[in-house]
Amino acid sequence: MISVSSSRLQPSLWPPPISFLGVLILTRHGDRAGFYQDPETYDATATVITPLGTEQEFQLGQHLRSIYLNSSSPSFISGVNASFVDQTQVYVRADAGGELGVIYDSAVALLQGLFPANANYSSDLANGTIIEGALGGYQYVPIESVQPSEDVSLEGYTSCAPFVTANNEFYASAEFAQKQNESAEFLSLLRPFLDGRPVTLENMYNIYDFINVQSIHNADFSKALPPTFLAQAYTLASWHEYNIFTSPQLDGIGNIAGRTILPVILSELQEIANTSNPLKLAYQSLAYKPFFSLFNMTGAAEQQPELAEIVPYASAIALEVREPAGGGEPMIRLNFKNGTGSDFVTYNFLNGTGDMPLQALIDHVNPALINSTAAWCAVCNNTQDRGCGALTAAAANASAAAVLAATPRHQPISPVGAGFLGAGLTLVVVLAMFGVLMFMGLLTIGRGRSRRAGRTASPTNSNEKA
Ligand SMILES: *[C@@H]1O[C@H](CO)[C@@H](O)[C@H](O)[C@H]1NC(C)=O
Ligand SMILES: *[C@@H]1O[C@H](CO)[C@@H](O)[C@H](O)[C@H]1NC(C)=O
Ligand SMILES: *[C@@H]1O[C@H](CO)[C@@H](O)[C@H](O)[C@H]1NC(C)=O
């Protein structure tokens, strides 16, 4: 394994050995107001980001800039335009689900730190005037707002009946009953602080969230709460959520948040690893849930149990992509920053130590991936919501004859995804769905990718000086 620093020891080499190809960043949103989510369905109520939350994300963006966009950093991304956003190099998606603006706004704040305004963002007009961009050369970075109703990739767990069933089975399990016994006394001590909220272990995420929000924003509450209670509630809520958002089986329903986001993650890592593709910095702004599945599915939480806990606000995973000097297969390094008070730490995964081949990650998770809306509808047994209604209607409307005539040459669904589709559907109907949905543009997860591919350099940037 060749580390990035070995290439820096030879600064006179030109061209330098390609080493640091780019990074995929996954963050949890910043501090927000109160929030409630149903303990069975995980349907959520709206909330808003706070001034503290915007500051946390902005500082995270500045920190990421110091690592990846500073030419004297060992992890400077080779060939990246650090001065002005090159929209072919940077690709951002934000979950627009249960927490509504919080996750999107977190992305905006992070990007303001990552790509600060640059007074050289200007251009010469035909009449001789030089015009500087708004707000002192503010860098506008497109953010794809990922609506759960149109794209299941970032919130695979909502409107998913087998997920609800699994949660209820967990609540009915012997393990859960034992934890209830162990925690009963603590929960009864917490009751007076919970303002009438249901004091049950099932409701543990909401209990923790409430006291966390109050501890940060309510001085009287913070003074009254005994000093260990917040940490105790965090530990219990983490145990609860790890069990909800992971599964003993890689392809278990508890891992659905990871199984739906991983196809996007893997394709972005492959694009970064492909030096003829311009993408260098991909960023997804998320809720805490996919972090559990990702740390479970990659084995990272097994190797480092502290990764089986709720990631604090403004935590970040950085999946760094390196190509060993002299060629060789691209390697992935898993770095994680545990909220605002800590720095990035490298974690082991896939039962190995340090960097692992991208291909090993792909091979490991491949059997569990949910690669398309159709596959998600089958896994979640849903015929109505999140694009499944259109699939069902397409299947119902298509006649067998039309189907045979319209059979597409390429099915944009992997054999893995197709394997889920057996239940209740004939092959003929499935083919009809593909035909109609390909036409409607509904089938692919992570739809922004094709949009990005169509982008060209903007003529307004012609005056940019790096
Ligand atoms: C040049 O064009 C810009 C944009 O239309 C305008 O704002 C500016 O006043 C013009 N300058 C002169 C000297 O005409
Ligand atoms: C994933 O989480 C489940 C609990 O849901 C656990 O049983 C399993 O051992 C974990 N797998 C790994 C690889 O950590
Ligand atoms: C992150 O911080 C929390 C405390 O806020 C701690 O309990 C947890 O173990 C830390 N996780 C990691 C991976 O360091």
Residue 393 pLDDT: 82
Rounded distance between C-alpha atoms, residue 259 and residue 252, angstroms? 9
Q: Which ligand is nearest to the CA of 126?
A: 1
Which residue, judged by its Cα, is nearest atom 3 of ligand 2? 248
Q: What is the pLDDT of residue 399?
A: 58
In this predicted structure, the answer to whether residue 8 has a pLDDT above a threshold of 70 is: no
* Dist CA 159 CA 419 (whole Å): 21
pLDDT of res. 404:
57
Which residue has its alpha carbon closest to ligand 3 atom 8? Answer: 306
Residue with the larger pLDDT of the pair 112 and 448? 112
Is residue 323 scored above 70 in pLDDT?
yes
C-beta of 338 in contact with ligand 3 (< 6 A): yes
- Ligand 1 close to Cβ of residue 125 (< 6 A): yes
Whole-number pLDDT of residue 396: 80
Nearest CA to ligand 1 atom 9: 129
Q: Which residue has the higher pLDDT, 347 or 447?
A: 347
Ligand nearest to the CA of 124: 1
**In this structure, are residues 61 and 111 in contact, taking their beta carbons and an 8 Å threshold?**
yes
Q: Which ligand is nearest to the CA of 123?
A: 1
Q: 343 CA to middle of ligand 3, Å?
A: 12
Whether residue 451 has pLDDT greater than 80: no
Q: Taking the model in full, what pTM does it have?
A: 0.84
Look at residues 247, 238, 256 and name the one whose alpha carbon lies nearest to residue 155. Answer: 256
- Chain mean pLDDT for the chain: 86
> Comparing 219 with 385, which gets the higher pLDDT?
219
- Given a cut of 70, whether residue 408 has pLDDT beyond it is no
Q: What is the CATH number of domain 6-157+247-370?
A: 3.40.50.1240
Ligand 2 nearest-atom number relative to CA 247: 5
Q: Tell me which residue has tokens 């291909």.
A: 359
pLDDT for 192-224, tens place per residue? 999 899 999 999 999 999 999 999 999 999 999
What pLDDT shows up at residue 326?
78
Instruction: Specify the pairing of strand 356-357 against strand 130-132.
Output: unpaired
Among all bound ligands, the one having the nearest atom to the CA of 129 is: 1
Residues 23 and 77 sit within 8 Å (Cβ to Cβ): yes
pLDDT band at 94 (very low <50, low <70, confident <90, very high): very high
Mutate to test the pocket of ligand 1, among 122, 125, 460 (most ligand atoms within 8 A of CB): 125
Residue-range domain boundaries for the chain: 6-157+247-370, 162-244, 388-441
* Amino acid 395: pLDDT: 80
Confidence of residue 21 (pLDDT cuts 50, 70, 90): very high
- Of 91-95, 120-124, 302-306, 398-402, minimum mean pLDDT range: 398-402
Ligand 3 neighbourhood includes 312 CB (under 6 angstroms) = yes
Q: Picking from 50-54, 362-366, 372-376, which range would have the lowest pLDDT averaged per residue?
A: 372-376
The response to whether residue 298 sits with its C-beta less than 6 Å from ligand 2 reads no
Q: What pLDDT score does 444 carry?
A: 47
Residue 423 has pLDDT above 70, yes or no: no
Please give the pLDDT value at position 327: 79
| Range with the poorest average pLDDT among 14-28, 81-95, 243-257, 308-322 | 14-28
Tell me, using a 6 A CB cutoff, whether residue 71 lines ligand 1. Answer: no
Q: Does pLDDT of 255 surpass 60?
A: yes
- Average pLDDT score over residue span 235-242: 98
> What b-and-e string marks burial along 299-334, b requiring 16 or more CB atoms within 10 Å of the CB?
bbbebbeebbbbbbbbbbbbbbbbbbbeeeebbbbb
For residue 353, is pLDDT > 90? yes
Report how far residue 26's alpha carbon sits from residue 288's, in angstroms, rounded to the nearest whole number: 10
Ligand in closest contact with the CA of 252: 2
Q: Atom 4 of ligand 3 has which residue's CA nearest to it?
A: 312
- pLDDT of 386 over the 50 cut: yes
Query: Residue of the nearest CA to atom 8 in ligand 1?
Result: 129
- In the structure, what pLDDT confidence band is assigned to residue 385 with cuts at 50, 70 and 90? confident
Asked if the model's pLDDT at residue 4 lies above 50, the reply is no
Q: What integer pLDDT is reported at residue 400 of this predicted model? A: 56
When pLDDT is averaged across residues 436-453 and rounded to a whole number, the result is 46
Query: What pLDDT does 103 receive?
Result: 96
Mutation probe of ligand 3 site: the residue of 28, 338, 348 with most atoms within 8 A of C-beta: 338
pLDDT at 272: 97
Q: What pLDDT score was predicted for residue 391?
A: 85
Q: Which pLDDT score is estimated for 402?
A: 62
Query: Given phi > 0 = left and psi -120 to 50 = alpha, else beta, which region is 78?
Result: beta
CB 47 within 8 A of CB 99: yes
Q: CB–CB of 376/152 below 8 Å?
A: yes
Span 371-397, mean pLDDT? 88
Q: What local confidence, expressed as pLDDT, does residue 84 receive? A: 97
